[in-house]
Each structure stands twice: as C-alpha cells, then as structure tokens.
Structure 1
Amino acid sequence: MRKILTVLLASLTLLLTNMVTSTAVYAKSKPQLSDYTYRVVNSVQRLIALKKYSDAHEKLQHALEGASRKFDKAVLMQQIGYLYSMQDNYPKAIEYFAKAIKSQGLPVEVAQQVRYALGQLYLAQEQYKESIATLQQWFAVSKTTEEKPQSSAYVLLASAYAQVEDYRHVVAPMKQAIKLSDSPSENWYLLLMAAYHELGQYQNMVGVLKSLTTQYPTKKRYWTQLSGAYMELEQEKKALAALEMPYNLGLMTDEKEILRLSNFEAFMSIPYRAATILETAMQQGNVERSAKHVEQLGSFYHQAQELDKAIESYQDAYQMAPTWDAQQRITKLMLQNKDYQGVLAFAQTPSPDANADNKAELKYLTGMAYFELHKTSKALEAMKKAVQSKEVKPMAQAWISYLQG
C-alpha cells in the first residue's frame, strides 16, 4: 500500500505542471481571461521556473485582490495553489485548489485537473474521506467529458478507500484499473488481494494469486500465499500442489518452510515424498541434521513402510540422543522387520535413561528374537528375566509356560 501511494504522489508534480500549462493554453485560446491576468500568469510561470517563489506569490496575491471576473479569480487561485504545492505546503495548496473549484470559474477540463490534484493532495495529507469525496466527484464529472478515467485514477480512489479500511469499495476500482492496463503493476494486484483477504473472500484471493504466480513465478511468497488461500478453502490437495511449486523451482531453502512442506506431504499420505524432501534438505545443508529431524525422517519412512530405511534413520537419531522410548520403538520395529540378529545387538545395551522395568522389557523383546532364531534355551533365559517388568510379566510368563512345555 505504501509503495502505491509513493508512486501516485510522485506523479503529482507532473500533473500539476501539466495542469498549469493547460490552463495557460486554454486562457490564451479563450477570451474570458483578462489581458492583465494572462500576463501575470505568464510572468509567474517564468518566476516559478527560476524558483523565485516569493516574487511569484506576491504577483499572484496582488492580482487576485484586484480581480473582479470569476474566471480570472479561479485561475489565480489555481496558480496560487500550484505555487504552494511546489513549496510542499500542501495544506495551503489544498485551500486554494478547493477555492478555485468552488468558485465554478474554471472550464470543466481545467477544473477536472485541479480536482484530481486535490484528491491526491488530500490523500497525501491523510485526509482520506475528503480525498474519496473529491475523487468521486471527479469520476462523476468525467462521465460528461470526452476524457475517460485511466487506471491510475481508479488506483487512487481504491488507495483512499483502503486507508479508511473500506475494503468493499477497494475491489471495484482496483479490478477496473487492472482491466484497463496492458501491464498492471504488481502492487495493484497486491492491493486487490489485500482487500479480498480482509473481506475473507479466499476464492477471489486465489484468482489474484494465480495471476501473480503466472507473472512472477520465481517469487516464492505468492506460491505460499496461494497455498494458504487454498487451505482456508479446505482444498488441501491444491494447497499442497501450490506449496510444492517453489520447492520444485529450487526457491525453497528455508528450514521452516522445508519442514512445513515435508510434514504436509506426510499429512496428505505421501510419506515417501516427505522423507525424500527432508533427507535431500539435510544432505544439502538446508535443514539441520539433528536428532529430532533424523527421527522425523525415520517416522516418514516408517509411514511409507520402508522399514529398512526407517530403522536406519531411527538408529542414527538414537546415536545422537539415546532414549528409552527410541530404543523401544527401534527394537519392536526390528522384530517386525524380522531382523532378529539386529534386535540382539541393539538391545544388548540399555539406553542411559532405562529403568529396571525398561531393562526387563528389553529382555522380553530379545527373548522373542531368540525364539525366532530357534534358540529356545536363550529365549527361556531372557523371558525369566523379563518377568521383573510389571508391564510384560503376564506375557513373559505365558512364554515361559510355552517354552517349558
């Protein structure tokens, strides 16, 4: 929004210069302006060009005090307003431009230029309601003239509405501005999108963001915003597809963003792709190879039923941060994967935080591995130690009865 205002106000000086020039030309071609006032206006323009603002102001005020004709007064007030604007005295410029319009002495074409400049000045002075009212009047009058509003006029009105948070009235002029332009500004789309967001119109946001991603495909934020809009609409597949685009384009290098994408892939039941994304990111150094992230990699492979890779990742994480919960998970997964020798090796040394019950449970798990390896005596020995665990005692006793039978 601030960028749009900067551009609009930067055009104000050019508008004012053109406005003064057109006034002089109009005055020369029409008989309404007195010869004296016409000569004053020309003299003042030369003084302004030399930046002799005090002299110019003195001439204009003197002429205004002696003027009796409506057209002369209106032109002189317009010139004074222009002079104040050149000195960045916007409040005074507003005062005289408003007087010039109110006098109804200016030709329609010139009055429209003054009115448009006044709308911009009100906006610059944060007098947003006055800016809106002035611009609405400008649009109303423009319907009766041959000169039709350009995109910039619609953007100006939309910007004023945005400043008073009247987002419903931002939409129509911004859409018209974009429609009229062969090359709409990126900021115009952003203002329209912001209005839709404030109104909770996420489907319309999607339309704007599609335009932005088409025109600026390498700007990652538009893809992530598009994904967010789809999420608001509960269109999760489209949200994921939008989020994948910056990754596929090589734009996603931030750790949080990559983790978000990989978690989203897993959430959408695509765990193998989640694992691939996370593993690649760790290899490239975009995601820290921490115990937490490596364990997460293991969980993705686990969901994908890639048990060998899951166990390998879990074990790598365990080496970085050995805990009982991790050891229990890995041991059970090894049993599920029929890696009985692996169970015996891994469960041989309990984790540092394992208590007596945990150690007894490890014996129960190793007992099952021994049984599968047809080492009955070893299995029985392990189960007898496992009964010390309250949790597995009933199962261990059942195994003992079976093995001894």
Structure 2
Amino acid sequence: MKKLSLLTSALMVAAAVSFTVPAMAQVTLTDADRARIEERKSRKTQLPGERVGRGVTKAFELYNEEKVDEALKVLLEIRGGNDFDNAFLARFIGNLYAQKDPKQAIKYLEQATKPDVLSFADQAGSLKLVADLQSMENMHRDAIKNYESWLRFTGENDADVYLRIANAYYQLQDYQKVLVPIDNAIRYAREPNKQHYMLKMGALYESKNYPKTVETVETMVQLFPEERQFWVYLGNFYTLVENYEKSLSALQIAYNNGYLESESELKLIGQMYANNNIPYKAATLYEKYLKSGKIKKDRTMLTAIASNFQAAREFGKAAQYYGELAALTNEADAYRRQGFAYMSIQRYNDAIKAFEASLARESSNAGRVHMSMVDAYLSQGKLREAFASLQQAKRDSATARQANSYENYIREKARVKGITL
C-alpha cells in the first residue's frame, strides 16, 4: 500500500515525464557485419600445438594448486610455433597475471587479441577483460577503445558494457560523452537499473544541465519510488531551476514517508516552506527538530525560527526566539527585533526592556531604537518617558527630523493633561 501511494505521489510530481529514451548511437549492424560475426562464430576451432598444449595443461594443474607464480614460470618459458599458439599462450598468461599484475596482464591480453585468431568466445572475453583491467588502472581512454572493440566484434548491445564506457568517460570528466553510452545502457537493460540513472544524473549535473538533471531525477522517483535519496535529490535539483513549488512537493512526499533524516534535509524542507510563503510551517518544523536535537541550535536557526514566526504574525513566539537569539549572541539587533515583536502584541514594558538591552550593546541604531521607545511609552500614556526618549532620538541625525515632528505633539498632549515635561 505504501509503494502504491509513493508511486502515485511520484506521478503527481512529474506527470509530464515520458519514459521514452531518445535514439542514441549504438551498435548498428549491416548485413556484412552480421555475416562477418556469424563467420567468426562458426570458424573451425583451432587447437594449440603439442608443446603449447602440454605447457598449458601443466600450468593449469599448478594454478589449481594455487601455485600461480609456478604456473606463470612454465608458460613464460614456452615459445609458440604460429600466431594461434602465441595468442593462445598470451591469453593464458594474461589471465594469470590479471590476479597479481594488471599492467602485465594488459600487455599479454593485447598480444592475444591483436591477430584475432582466438575462438570467438575467447577473443570476446579477452577484449572485455583487458578493458576491465585498463579501467582498474585508470587507463580509461584505452578501456573505452577496447569496450568499443568488443561491441563491434560481438555485435551485441550489452547494457553492462555501455555502462562501463559511460563510467570511463565520467572518470575522465568528459561528462557530455557519458550521455550516449549511458542512454544505451538504460535502453538495453533488462530492467531499470539505479546505477544507470545515478550516472546519468551525475553527468548532467556536472555539465550544469540542470533542466535535464531534473527530468532524469523525475524519472528516477517514478521508477524507484521507495529510494529515499532520490526524493531528496529531486527536491534539491528543483531549487537549481528555481521551481520552489515542485521542490516543496517532492520534499513533502519524502518527509511524509520518513525519508528526510539529516539536519540539512530537514533544513531544506523548512527553507522551501519559507520560499513558498508558508512561514508558520517553516517555523514550527524548525522548532520541532530544534527541540528534538536533530537541528543544531545556533544563530542561523534561531534567526530563521524567529523571523518565520514573525512573518506568520505569531509575534509572541517570534519574541521568544529573538530572546533566545539575544541570549546566545548578545547582539543588539536581536534585542531590537524582540522589542518590535513585543510591540506587535502590545507588551510595551517587555518591549522597552528589550530596547534598553539593545541600546546597552550598540549605538549605531540608537536613534531608531529610541523612536521605538517613544512609541511604546506613548502607547502607555507615559509622556515624560516618551519625551525623554525623544530627546535622545533628536541627537541621531538619522532620526532627528522624525523626532522633531513628534515633539510638538507630545508637548501639546502634556499641556492638555497638565503634565510638566
């Protein structure tokens, strides 16, 4: 039931995505190619000469006794009488070296395959083995050449070989050239393979082709809806194309299924709530995981919680978290913002205390803070205190004009009430 719901959600997120793989370069056989391959397959099996045959038999017996060095010594002392003998011998030597000395193995396997006299199966197997060894030795361009030789020799569209070619190009950081073979791997795979799509995603991302990266990951979540990391990738990659609404949709599916685990993932969904103008959800999610310990309590997170609660007009909660921020950082601005939040819910005495704390720590915004105190005192009818704060605000050039405009109002208000300023 869970799988069905995930698949339905995936289709909702990426309904427009098609599974059709575009036509790509692949092994295309002519009639002549097919005839060549069939001729090669049906070629009469050759046997090595007596001297080579005896040596290989002895070496094989030593190999079965796990005496690889002794087996190699036997083979290296033999000299073949013709091209087939030499290729047959080189293949055995290469296979033994593959276990202990890849570079030597490559040398002998290339000698074995060069004349193309081995049986069809041995020639094909040797071409693939030498390519695998070259990949292991970071000889990626040579590996690609031999994998492609294998494809032409066999005429097969093998998904695994296409994957290996794509991976070799990826290791070379030639990301554009990854795409043709990896699409062929996807096309010819018997069933969808996560590794194929991961490699394609990586190549597109490294190429900075973000729209195509998103399309690929949309397909991935449809094919593998229970793969939690793919939903996280999708949410992240939507942000690269600034589609914050779809990012939030993908992350909500992931969150509802328990797929968001790390601090960065939880922060990301909170950020997407904020980016989609849902600040209350952002603030409460951050608050939940701050309390549980999954999100670290620091300046950035306390600011995010407080500012999102403020945007959601939850001013009491905003004041609470600005207070926690102030306690953590001792920053004047945190106290100032706490004061504004208190003003919004008419907690004027608390606002004044916060403003005073701000003034005690910084003077750069002093005029504005004093003007906020003027408003707080006036709201309480405390004209003397408001007038005193006004005089402080007049000393700051940034607020002097505003303070002067207030002065006559306060003086008149005091005169009517018979209060001496």
Measure the CA separation in 1 of the matches of 2:49 and 2:244.
Answer: 72
1:314 and 1:326 in contact (8 A); partners too: yes
Unaligned runs of 5+ in 2: 1-40, 417-421
Matched residues in 1 for 2:125 and 2:146: separation? 12
* Cα displacement (A) at 1:225: 2.8
Verify: 1:81 aligned to 2:94, yes or no: yes
Kindly provide the CA deviation profile for residues 106-127 of structure 1, in whole angstroms up to 9, marking residues without a partner as x: 2333222211112112222222
Code of the residue aligned with 1:176 in structure 2: it is N
Residues 342-396 of structure 1, C-alpha deviations (whole Å, 9 max, x = no match) = 214542683243778678546522332124xxxxxxx433343233131353243
Q: Flag the 1:267–1:39 CA change in 2: closer, same or farther, 3 A.
A: same
In 1, Cα distance between the equivalents of 2:331 and 2:97?
Answer: 76
Distance 1:76 1:291 in 2: 70
Alignment of 1:18-33 (within 5 A): 30=45, 32-33=47-48
Q: Do structure 1's residue 399 and structure 2's residue 402 form an aligned pair? A: no
CA distance in 2, matches of 1:266, 1:125: 48
Show the 5 A alignment for 1:19-168. Answer: 30=45, 32-65=47-80, 67=81, 69-86=82-99, 88-143=100-155, 148-168=156-176
Do the aligned partners of residues 369 and 108 (structure 1) sit closer, same or farther apart at CA in structure 2, a change above 3 Å counting?
A: same
Equivalent-residue separation in structure 1 for 2:183 and 2:369 (angstroms): 69
Equivalent position amino acid for 2:101 in 1 = N
Structure 1 counterpart of 2:239, from 225, 231, 240? 231
CA RMSD of aligned residues (A): 3.3
Structure 1 length as normaliser, TM-score? 0.75
After TM superposition, the structure 1 stretch with the greater mean CA deviation from structure 2, 384-393 or 275-284, is 384-393
3-state DSSP class of the match of 2:174? Answer: coil
* Alignment-mate amino acid for residue 267 of structure 1: N
Deviates more, 1:248-257 or 1:117-126: 248-257
For residues 235 and 354 of structure 1, what CA distance do their matches in structure 2 show?
40
Matches within 5 A, 1:188-207: 188-207=196-215
Q: Which amino acid aligns with 1:137?
A: S
Indicate the residue corresponding to 1:347 in structure 2: 352
Q: 1:291 to 1:163 in 2, by over 3 A?
A: closer
Mark the runs of 5 or more structure 1 residues left unpaired by the alignment. 1-25, 372-378
Contact 2:244–2:275 (Cα < 8 Å) also in 1: no
Change (3 A) 1:395 1:310: farther
Structure 1 CA distance for aligned equivalents of residues 185 and 48 of structure 2: 37
- The TM-score normalised by the length of structure 2 is 0.73
| Rounded Cα–Cα distance in structure 2 between residues aligned with 1:209 and 1:140 | 32
Identity of aligned residues (%): 22
Greater relative CO (CA pairs within 8 A, separation 6+): 2
Aligned mates of 1:270, 1:103 — CA distance in 2: 70
What is the aligned length?
360
From 363, 375, 380, give the equivalent of 1:370: 380
Range moving further from structure 2, 288-297 or 92-101: 288-297
Query: Alpha carbons of 1:322 and 1:125: their partners in 2 closer, same or farther (altered >3 Å)?
Result: closer
CA shift in 2, pair 1:233/1:44, >3 Å:
same
TM-superposed CA distance for 1:277, in Å, is 0.9
Residue 75 of structure 2 aligns with an amino acid whose one-letter code is L
**What CA deviation, in whole Å up to 9, does each residue of 1:256-303 have, x standing for no partner?**
443443233223211111111112122322234567644532321221
- State whether residues 386 and 396 of structure 1, in contact with CA within 8 Å, keep that contact through their aligned partners in structure 2: no
In structure 1, distance between residues paired with 2:322 and 2:48: 90
Task: Find the aligned partners of 1:395 and 1:237 in 2 and give their Cα distance.
Answer: 46
Mapped to 1, the partners of 2:370 and 2:107 lie a distance apart of 90
Aligned residue identity for 1:73: N
Residue number in structure 1 paired with 2:384: 381
What is the match of residue 289 of structure 2?
281
Aligned-residue offset at 1:89: 2.2
